[in-house]
Amino acid sequence: MSVAAVAPLPEVCFHCGLLVPDGLLLSARVLGESRSMCCIGCRAAAEMLEAQGLSDWYRRRASLPGSAARTLDSIRDENSPLEAPEIEASFLTADGSGSRSAGLLVEGLSCAACIWVIESHLGGLVGVEGVRIALPERRVVVDFHPDRTSLRDVVLRLAEIGFASRPDRPSEAAALEREENRTALIRLGVSGLGAMNVMSYAMGLYVGAFDGIEAGSVALMRWMGFLVATPVVAYAGRPFFEAAWRELKVRRPGMDVPVALAIGGAYLVSVYATVFDVGEVYFESICMFIFFLGLGRYLEQRIRQRACSLSRSLAESSPTIARRQDLDAERVVPADRLIVGDRFRVRPGETIAADGRVLEGESAVQEALLTGEPWPRSVARDAVVVAGSVNIGSPLLVEATRVGDQTTLASILRLALRAQSERSPVARLADRVGSIFVVAVLAVALANFLVWWWIAPEQAIWTTLSVLVATCPCALGLALPAATAATTHALARGGLLVTRAGVLEELARADRFVFDKTGTLTEGEPQLVDVRIAGPLDGEAVDTARALEIARALERDSEHPIARALRRPQPGERVRQAREIVADVRAYPGLGVKGVVGGHVYRIGRPEWALASEVEPSDRVERLRDRFESGGTSRTSPSLAGDRDTEASLVSVLLSCDGVPLAWLDFEDPVRPEAAPALEALRHAGMSLEMLSGDPSAGAEGVAHALGLETFVRGALPEEKVDRVQALTRAGHRVVVVGDGVNDGPVLRAGDVSIAMGSGCDLSRLGASAVLLRDDLSLLPQAVEAARKMRRIAGQNVAWAIGYNLAVLPLAVSGHLPPWLAALGMSASSLVVVLNALRGNRLPSEEERR
């Protein structure tokens, strides 16, 4: 959505999509036509592709590179607030040597080639001292000398090579998270390396037990094991002890309690055995256990953190500024400096910084962020505007009524964050089962000790230990995390980021999908689908190309979704440089745009408004519409015309010349191409599907029919959507909600699982339990399949772990299982669980799903 800043209308390079500089005449023959090129490099590349017979690429590529939509000018404007030292300073961190460093979030940073381009290009900027890039977080950190260059220059320099970037406030939370990650990695390294060494001593002892070994060597191995295992338990095992302590403090013993108990107990007994040279030592089991459990948790946590940072960082970082209107002058201040009653100006294209009331100006605001609807709302004096919406018309003067934490946007954000911190029901259930298990194990061990104490006191401690080790819930503790980690990883590689624990379990049980329409099942951006010629111009008929040209010229500087749709080149069309000189362009919010071309007044917009000079506009419009709906006088090429029957969500605007209709331009929000097969696959997987749309038009119905959705609700308010989903959950359904806007926030929270579209607004992603990175709906059936597979694997794992523990328990209690054998069995059992979980590391392929 941010790509759609003020775009030029222009001749763009056929190869790269950048602007062709004025007066440059470079062209290459591609796909049988002469195409303009912006530079010699592009021409060479295009000619080479053509010569190699690879020009089909131009047909197959989905779109021009994104950079084409943004011009340097617009980026310069957007970042002009950075010139204010106060604003710039808020993004910078200083180090001792006088240089500053700034973090930038870069859009479209996707591969190693980007790293290279950015490093070499930024490195060439005078004053830049260092560039560090973290690909997974899409972050670039630039060190520069504040006297020689500025943050704004860095942003512009990046824009030159087509990377849109936003400065990112240094966040303490992020630094803390990185520190935690590093510590976790070190703990993992210590336990892994330690486990390998202790294992080698244990192998000596195992072999020695059969082949004979000197008592001195045994003592040496044991003491060495003690030496290495101690730091592993104390340092790498510390998180388990801490977590167990926390669980005990809140009287909710979970998996960490038996884990800590097993580690601690086995360690103490081993130390006792080493010091007094009796019994067995279990140092190797302890280290392996800590390593495996730590590895599973670390991997899962990293993937989740990455998912969260991707969804969070963009939301937090947008440089929110306000142009405060003080008595003497206009000042640019950070948005959070505004107080209630302040007046601030909002220029076209800027985001409104606080909730407020319009004092001056007439404009339209885009509230897609909050309402999800793509069409802007027109506002005038006394209208209420909300923070986070974008002014797309003319300048506004606004009086702030709610600021900072009080804004509508902030309250939605808080709700989303709260939802994120709640635990899933399945996780809670697992905890409860874990508690019961723990209590049972402890009871059995205690009973065992007492009974043996009565029969044979010298055997009591060893059989009790055997019981504890044999029933050690290591495998059980690993069963779920290992399976979850493997599947989460596989899904993340496929493009579905899971942001919360427990989501996959819920997804596996789900039986109903609820979709939002706009932006989820459809693309969310209107597209020009048809141009129908309405009448002659100057006695001779205009052609569609000419009509488009005039329409584009009129809408050149508008931010309206229709203008953006107009500016996108049609498939197979070559955008010509606008030759028209448009004078007196004026936008009428909610109505359309008027301008003078060659002495004629052209209007484009609502039909009744475009024909305003007519006596009976509405009547005329009806007649005109009738003529075209029935007449089929469309002269457009078939590629531009869609299937009219399914296009009820059509929005038509009329282009008129001096009040005489010229052409109808039809726009619609098309259904995503992969939606139909994806929904079919979901149905095949036994899901019932449903669409809840806030769109009251018949278009919603059309979309539902096109996708074969029998259950749908159109024109639903957010509360109604929530009610519907809650009714479904009450009826025993497990509901997955897929949506994209902040307005979907409440309904996303109502579902058992919520999935947000990656291109949707940043805030909806905050509340979602998973994010579809590539906006590819066909990942959904894959995710369901993967989640079900994960549940099968987890079930097998739990069955195995519990089954094994139960099977060896009688042997341990009766004294037939020596502790060393119990430990060996325990390690083998854990290994089985881990290996089984690794099967989830692969997404189910197409064939398997059939």
Partner 1 sequence: MTILLVLIPLGVFLLGIAIALFVWAVRNGQFEDLEGEGSRILFEDPPRRQSVPPIAPGEVP
Using CB under 8 A as the binding rule, whether residue 62 contacts partner 1 is answered as no
Question: Which residue in 21, 41, 130, 189 binds partner 1 (CB under 8 A)?
Answer: 189
Query: What is the rounded distance in angstroms from the CA atom of residue 567 to the CA atom of residue 558?
Result: 10
Q: What is the SS3 assignment for 615?
A: coil
Of positions 22, 147, 538, 846, contacts partner 1 by CB under 8 A: 147
Q: Which stretch binds partner 1 (CB under 8 A): 118-126, 312-320, 564-572, 596-604?
A: 118-126
Question: What are the tokens at 368?
Answer: 């897609």
* Structure token digits, residue 358: 């319009």
Among 173, 203, 209, 220, indicate the residue that binds partner 1 (CB under 8 A): 220
* Residue 85 near partner 1 by CB under 8 A: no
- Does 488 bind partner 1 (CB under 8 A)? Our answer is no
What is the distance between the alpha carbons of residues 540 and 536, in angstroms, rounded to a whole number?
5
120 binds partner 1 (CB under 8 A): yes
Check residue 197 for interaction with partner 1 (CB under 8 A).
yes
- 281 makes contact with partner 1 (CB under 8 A): no
Whichever of 104 and 470 has its CB closer to partner 1, that residue is 104
| Secondary structure of 350-399 in HEC code, one letter for each residue | CECCCEEEEEECCEEEECHHHHCCCCCEEECCCCEECCCCEECCCCEEEE
Which stretch, 215-223, 365-373, 690-698, 781-789, contacts partner 1 (CB under 8 A)?
A: 215-223
Is 585 a binder of partner 1 (CB under 8 A)? no
Minimum gap (Å) between residue 197 Cβ and partner 1: 5
**Which of 77, 107, 119, 153 forms a contact with partner 1 (CB under 8 A)?**
119
According to the binding rule CB under 8 A, does residue 57 interact with partner 1? no
Other CB atoms within 10 A of residue 714 CB: 19
Among 45, 49, 193, 410, which residue interacts with partner 1 (rule: CB under 8 A)? 193
Helix (H) / strand (E) element for 30: namely strand 27-30
Q: Which stretch binds partner 1 (CB under 8 A): 121-129, 164-172, 710-718, 758-766?
A: 121-129
Contacts of 174 (CB under 8 A, 6+ apart): 309
Of the candidates 270, 267, 206, the residue with the CA atom closest to the CA atom of residue 236: 267
Shortest CB 130 distance to partner 1, Å: 11
Mapped onto helix, strand or coil, the DSSP state of residue 774 is: coil
Nearest 5°: the CA angle 796, 801, 805 is 145
By CB under 8 A, tell whether 116 contacts partner 1: yes
Shortest separation between residue 96's beta carbon and partner 1, angstroms:
17
- Least distance in Å: CB of 126 to partner 1? 6
Binding segment for partner 1 (CB under 8 A), chosen from 134-142, 237-245, 447-455, 472-480, is 134-142
Can residue 98 be called a binding residue for partner 1 (CB under 8 A)? no
Nearer to partner 1, 45 or 451 (CB): 45
Pick the closer one to partner 1 by CB: 190 or 465.
Answer: 190
Pairing of strands 496-498, 770-772: antiparallel
C-beta of 168 vs 555, nearer to partner 1: 168
Query: What are the residues whose beta carbons fall under 8 Å from the beta carbon of 668, sequence distance 6 or more?
Result: 526, 527, 529, 642, 647, 649, 650, 651, 699
Q: Letter for the amino acid at 727?
A: A
Radius of gyration over every alpha carbon of the chain, rounded to an integer in angstroms: 33
The beta strands (E) that lie in 145-217 are given as: 165-168
- Under the binding rule (CB under 8 A), the answer on residue 217 touching partner 1 is yes
Determine if 111 is a binding residue for partner 1 (CB under 8 A): yes
Residue in 31, 44, 72, 185 binding partner 1, rule: CB under 8 A: 185
DSSP 91: T
We find the least distance from the C-beta atom of residue 443 to partner 1, in angstroms, to be 40
Closest to partner 1 by CB, 44 vs 186, is 186
Q: In the bound complex, what is the minimum distance in angstroms from residue 124's beta carbon to partner 1?
A: 7
Contact between 123 and partner 1 by CB under 8 A: the answer reads yes
Which region among 185-193, 321-329, 397-405, 787-795 touches partner 1 (by CB under 8 A)? 185-193
* The residue count for the chain: 850
Instruction: Determine contact, residues 518/669, Cβ cutoff 8 Å.
Output: yes
Do 356 and 401 touch, CB atoms closer than 8 A?
yes
Query: Least CB distance from residue 143 to partner 1, whole Å?
Result: 13
Looking at 422-456, list the stretches that DSSP marks H as alpha helix, in order from N- to C-terminal side: 425-455
Shortest reach from residue 766's CB to partner 1, in Å: 24
> Angle CA(579)–CA(582)–CA(584) in degrees, nearest 5?
170
Return the residues of window 792-821 that contact partner 1 according to CB under 8 A. none
Hey, CA dihedral for 204, 208, 211, 215, is it positive or negative?
Answer: positive
Q: Is 165 in the site for partner 1 (CB under 8 A)?
A: no
Nearer to partner 1, 223 or 449 (CB): 223
User: CB 139 → partner 1: shortest distance, Å?
Assistant: 10
The single residue among 140, 221, 335, 441 that binds partner 1, judged by CB under 8 A, is: 221
Nearer to partner 1, 287 or 794 (CB): 287
User: In a 3-state reduction of DSSP, which class is residue 341?
Assistant: coil
CA-closest candidate to residue 469, choices 682, 268, 221? 268
Helix locations, 212-255, DSSP H: 215-231, 238-249
CA distance 697 to 648: 8
Active site residue 342: no
- Chain positions 416 to 475 lying near partner 1, rule: CB under 8 A, are none
Q: Hey, which bits of 82-203 come out as E strands?
A: 92-94, 100-106, 128-134, 139-144, 165-168
Rounded to 10 degrees, the C-alpha dihedral 583/588/591/592 comes to: 30
Q: Which SS3 state, helix, strand or coil, does residue 593 take?
A: strand
Pick the binder of partner 1 from 5, 227, 243, 340 (CB under 8 A). Answer: 227
Q: Segment contacting partner 1 (CB under 8 A): 223-231, 409-417, 439-447, 673-681?
A: 223-231
Q: Which is nearer to partner 1, 212 or 732 (CB)?
A: 212
Instruction: Give the whole-angstrom CA distance, residue 42 versus residue 21.
Output: 13
Give the 3-state secondary structure of 827-847.
Answer: HHHHHHHHHHHHHHHCCCCHH
Query: 541: which strand partners?
Result: 536
- What's 734's DSSP letter? -
- Residue 161 CB, nearest approach to partner 1 (Å): 15
Is residue 527 at the binding interface for partner 1, with CB under 8 A as the rule?
Answer: no
Given the residues 516, 530, 666, 740, the one annotated as active site: 516
Q: Does 134 bind partner 1 (CB under 8 A)?
A: yes
* Count of C-beta atoms within a 10 Å radius of residue 792: 15
Strand partners, 133: 140
For partner 1, which residue of 135, 199, 591, 811 counts as binding (CB under 8 A)? 135
Residue of the chain from 29, 148, 493, 586 that contacts partner 1 (CB under 8 A): 148
- Determine if 190 is a binding residue for partner 1 (CB under 8 A): yes
CA atoms within 13 A on the CB side of 123: 10
Q: Which of these ranges, 94-102, 116-124, 360-368, 620-628, lies near partner 1 under the rule CB under 8 A?
A: 116-124
The footprint of partner 1 on this chain (CB under 8 A) covers a number of residues equal to 35
User: According to CB under 8 A, which one of 194, 607, 767, 840 is a site residue for partner 1?
Assistant: 194
Query: Least separation, in Å, of the C-beta of 767 and partner 1?
Result: 28
Q: Which is nearer to partner 1, 214 or 328 (CB)?
A: 214
Instruction: Tell me which residue of 290, 208, 300, 174 sits closest to 243, measured CA to CA.
Output: 290
CA distance 306 to 283: 34
- Of 160-168, 190-198, 451-459, 636-644, the segment contacting partner 1 by CB under 8 A is 190-198
Q: Three-state SS for 690?
A: strand
* Residues classed as catalytic: 516
Give the footprint of partner 1 on this chain (CB under 8 A): 111-113, 115-116, 119-120, 123-124, 126, 133-136, 147-148, 178, 182, 185-186, 189-190, 193-194, 197, 200-201, 214, 216-217, 220-221, 224, 227-228
